[in-house]
C-alpha cells in the first residue's frame, strides 16, 4: 500500500509539474503576445526627412567671344573659326530658367559683313539647296527651334573671308548684330 501511495504521490507530482510547466508556458506566450501587441500598437515616431534639392548653377562658358541678351535668354558667340574653306560660327543660347524658346529666323536674315572689305556674305547651301545652319526647319530655309532646353547650340557655315580679314560682324535676323568678332584661322 505504501508503494501505491508513493506511486500516486509521484504521479500527482508529475501531473502538477506538467500543469505548472503548461501554465508557465501559457503565461510566457501570453506575455510575448502582450509585448508583441504592445510593440505593434505603440505609436511610432514619425520622422520627417527634408532633402534639399541642389540646383546646379550652369557653368559659365569660358570661350564666349560676344554676348547679347535676348527675350528668353543670353545668346553667346563661342566660335568664329576657319576650317578648310568654311567659316564656322557657333552660338550658344543659354536658357537657365528653361522657358519656352521659339526661334524662327529666315536664313536670308543671317549673314556676316567682312570688316576689312565691307562685303556681305550669306550662309552656304548644301548640295540639296538647304542652308547650312543648325537647328533648321524641314525645308532647310529657316533657323528654327521650339523647346525649353537649358542650352541650345546654333551653328552657321559661311564661305571663308579673305586671309587679310581679321574680324567679321555677324547679323542674326531680329536678334541683332555682333560686331568685330575675331576670326580664328
Find the range with the poorest average confidence among 4-13, 51-60, 92-101, 113-122: 51-60
Query: Under 8 Å CB-to-CB from 99, ≥6 apart: which residues?
Result: 72, 73, 148
Q: Which residues pair with 123 in a beta bridge?
A: 158
Q: Which of 54-63, 92-101, 124-133 has the highest mean pLDDT?
A: 124-133
124-175 per-position pLDDT tens digit: 999 999 999 999 999 999 999 999 899 999 999 999 999 999 999 999 999 9
Asked whether 94 and 165 are in contact (CB, 8 A), the reply is: no
DSSP 3-state assignment of 17? helix
Categorize the per-residue pLDDT at 71 as very low, low, confident or very high, splitting at 50, 70 and 90.
confident
pLDDT, position 134: 96
pLDDT, position 87: 98
10-52 per-position pLDDT tens digit: 656 655 555 555 555 555 555 555 554 444 555 556 565 555 4
Domain ranges (residues) in the chain: 1-35, 66-182
Question: Which of 3.30.1340, 2.60.40, 1.10.287, 1.10.3470 is the CATH number of 66-182?
Answer: 2.60.40
Asked whether 111 and 171 are in contact (CB, 8 A), the reply is: yes
Alpha-carbon span 92 to 183, nearest angstrom: 17
Alpha-carbon span 92 to 156, nearest angstrom: 12
Rg of the Cα atoms in the chain:
42
pLDDT, position 38: 47
Amino acid at each position: 500500500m505504501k508503494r501505491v501511495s508513493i506511486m500516486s504521490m509521484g504521479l500527482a507530482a508529475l501531473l502538477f509539474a506538467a500543469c505548472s510547466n503548461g501554465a508557465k508556458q501559457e503565461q510566457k506566450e501570453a506575455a510575448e503576445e502582450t509585448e508583441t501587441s504592445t510593440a505593434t500598437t505603440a505609436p511610432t515616431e514619425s520622422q520627417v526627412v527634408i532633402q534639399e534639392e541642389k540646383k546646379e548653377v550652369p557653368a559659365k562658358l569660358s570661350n564666349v567671344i560676344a554676348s547679347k541678351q535676348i527675350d528668353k535668354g543670353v545668346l553667346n558667340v563661342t566660335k568664329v573659326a576657319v576650317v578648310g574653306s568654311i567659316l564656322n560660327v557657333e552660338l550658344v543660347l543659354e536658357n537657365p530658367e528653361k522657358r519656352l524658346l521659339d526661334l524662327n529666323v529666315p536664313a536670308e536674315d543671317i549673314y556676316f559683313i567682312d570688316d576689312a572689305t565691307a562685303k556681305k556674305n550669306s550662309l552656304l547651301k548644301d548640295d540639296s539647296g538647304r542652308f547650312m545652319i543648325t537647328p533648321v526647319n524641314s525645308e532647310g530655309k529657316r533657323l528654327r527651334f521650339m523647346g525649353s532646353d537649358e542650352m541650345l547650340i546654333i551653328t552657321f557655315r559661311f564661305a571663308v573671308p579673305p586671309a587679310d580679314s581679321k574680324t567679321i560682324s555677324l547679323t542674326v535676323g531680329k536678334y541683332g548684330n555682333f560686331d568685330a568678332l575675331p576670326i580664328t584661322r
